Structure 1
Amino acid sequence: MDKETILSGLLHDTVEDTCISFAEIERLFGVTTRKIVEGETKVSKLPKMVRSAPGWQDAAAVSKVEEQVENLRSMFIAMAEDWRIVVVKLADRLHNMRTLQHMPPPKQASIARETLEIF
């Protein structure tokens, strides 16, 4: 794996969790790393879109939700103009799944369902 992908994996939550900007990441680590981190940040917003979709928690509206999830899955792939964005996002999701035991059961179920539906 190249250094930009590894750096992006380490930095993927930096902009959301700190006062560091994409411009600062680019200045310190280069344009490629910034693009991967920025792409992963955009892709990370997809699960929030799923949770806010009408019928996400309503079994009667499952087919509509399934259609929306498929659209989001397609958006996920389209938004990831660089395959390394997908690699970083999937590694992040794997880490999230491996640490579910530290969350309350309802949150565990929500994240697990999200993972099954989108990723």
Structure 2
Amino acid sequence: MDCETIVAGLLHDTVEDTMLVTFEGIEDQFGTVVRRIVEGETKVSKMGKMHTQNSCDVKADDLRQMFLAMTEEVRVIIVKLADRLHNMRTLSHMPSRKQV
């Protein structure tokens, strides 16, 4: 992948997980493209968490949002998939409740 995607992949959780990093700070230090990828991945990640119901309509809407993100910036989905792959590879190190 290109430099922007790698940097975005490394930074993808920093805004949500810390109080020190903002999207503006990412843009200032790494540029608009990296900010757009990180912000897009954060939005895609939040889609499933926003709904409490497991209805087909909610899942269809989540898929629509993901495909929309893909058409705007495919690197958002690449970073998201890499994050999921890493989570699965390191699942054995998580507490049992997280593994489930």
TM-score range, shorter chain: 0.7 to 0.9
Counterpart for residue 65 of structure 2? 75
Q: CA RMSD in A?
A: 1.6
Alpha-carbon shift at residue 84 of structure 1 (Å): 0.3
| Structure with greater Cα Rg | 1
Does residue 94 (structure 1) correspond to residue 95 (structure 2)? The answer is no
Alpha-carbon shift at residue 94 of structure 1 (Å): 0.8
What's the TM-score once normalised by structure 1's chain length? 0.73
Q: Which runs of 4+ in 1 moved over 3 A?
A: none
Give the Cα–Cα distance (whole angstroms) in 2 for the partners of residues 47 and 102 of structure 1. Answer: 24
Question: Which residue of 79, 84, 95 corresponds with 2:75?
Answer: 84
Give the gaps of 5 or more residues in structure 2.
none
Percent of aligned positions that are identical = 54
Counterpart for residue 43 of structure 1? 44
What's the TM-score once normalised by structure 2's chain length? 0.86
